[in-house]
Amino acid sequence: MKILLLVPVLLAAVTLPKPAPQPIAGEHDWTVDSVHSTCVFRVKMHGDAAVFLGMFDTVEGAITLDPTKPADGKIAITIPVDSVHTHDAKRDGHLKGPDFFSAKENPTIEFHSTKIEKKGDSTFAVTGDLAMAGKSHSVTVQVNRIGEGDFYGKRVGWETEFSIKRSDYGMTYGMDKNALGDEVKLMVAIETVQAK
């Protein structure tokens, strides 16, 4: 009879969902340290009379990149649109609104790599899909590995600069009379900490 008491336990062991196995982080898996990462954008304005700089305060994501096998690498970066910061609350609101990012519909800017090639000792050509404001386009950017060090965990720094046309993403507002330029330069500086 006592063996019958084991039946529910055995059944439970068979039927209860098992937790998905957690992937073990390798030495080339990095998590973006959002506190020490930023994305600055630069756009010409007022008939090319001046340039304007703004930034996204939060950059999140993960990087897997073995310098000896870059083709196996993956880069996934997410920037919450709500973190846009231009030192003017009204302008921030306009950028988050439907004239530009429509943040309530499209709350994040996302980049997912599709191809990584090594171009130099610490330089990589990264191709991927950049999605924002409900549209996605493939871009290729040059990513530089700045260096590495130990500071509350092993860290590696990365940076890239590239330009996009905001009209490709449907953000054409303010282009009449060249009030705000079409070409936007993005400067992204990321610090990653080794994933655990």
Partner 1 sequence: MELGQVLTAALWTLPGAALALLLAALFGGRIVPLAAAAGMYLTYGLVRGWPAWPHELWTSPNATEWLLWSVVGAAVLALCETLGLWRARVAVLFALPAAGGAAWLVLQKIVARWTPGERWLSLCGVALAGAVAMIALRKLWTGRASAALPAIVLAMALTFDAMLLGIGHTGLMAQMAGTLSAAICMALVPSLWGRSLVFTPANATWVGLAHVLFLVTGVRIADVQWPAAVLAGVAPVLPLLAMSLATRRPALWVAFAVSIAAVAGIAAVLVQSGY
Nearest to partner 1 of 172, 178 (CB atom): 172
Tokens of 121: 């000792």
Q: DSSP for the chain?
A: -HHHHHHHHHHHHHHSPPPPPPPPP-TTEEEE-GGG-EEEEEEEETTTTEEEEEEES--EEEEE--TT-GGG-EEEEEEEGGGEE-S-HHHHHHHHSTTTT-TTTS-EEEEEEEEEEE-SSSEEEEEEEEEETTEEEEEEEEEEEEEEEESSSEEEEEEEEEEEEGGGGT--TT-GGGSEEEEEEEEEEEEEEE--
Q: How far is the CB of 184 from partner 1 (least distance, A)?
A: 17
Nearest to partner 1 of 87, 90 (CB atom): 90
Looking only at residues 68 through 107 of this chain, which bind partner 1 when binding is defined by CB under 8 A? Answer: 90, 93-94, 96-99, 102, 104-106
Residue with tokens 């900490």: 193
x/- binding map, residues 135-174, to partner 1, per CB under 8 A?
A: x-------------------------------x--x-xx-
Distance between CA atoms of residues 156 and 46, nearest Å: 38
Q: How far is the CB of 164 from partner 1 (least distance, A)?
A: 16
How would you class 184 by CB atoms within 10 Å of its CB: exposed for 0-12, middle for 13-18, buried for 19 or more?
buried
Nearest to partner 1 of 5, 89 (CB atom): 89
Q: How far is the CB of 137 from partner 1 (least distance, A)?
A: 13
Q: How far is the CB of 172 from partner 1 (least distance, A)?
A: 5
Nearest to partner 1 of 69, 135 (CB atom): 135
Q: How far is the CB of 81 from partner 1 (least distance, A)?
A: 12
Nearest to partner 1 of 79, 188 (CB atom): 79
x/- binding map, residues 42-71, to partner 1, per CB under 8 A?
A: ------------------------------
Q: Which residues here bind partner 1, judged by CB under 8 A?
A: 90, 93-94, 96-99, 102, 104-106, 134-135, 167, 170, 172-173, 176
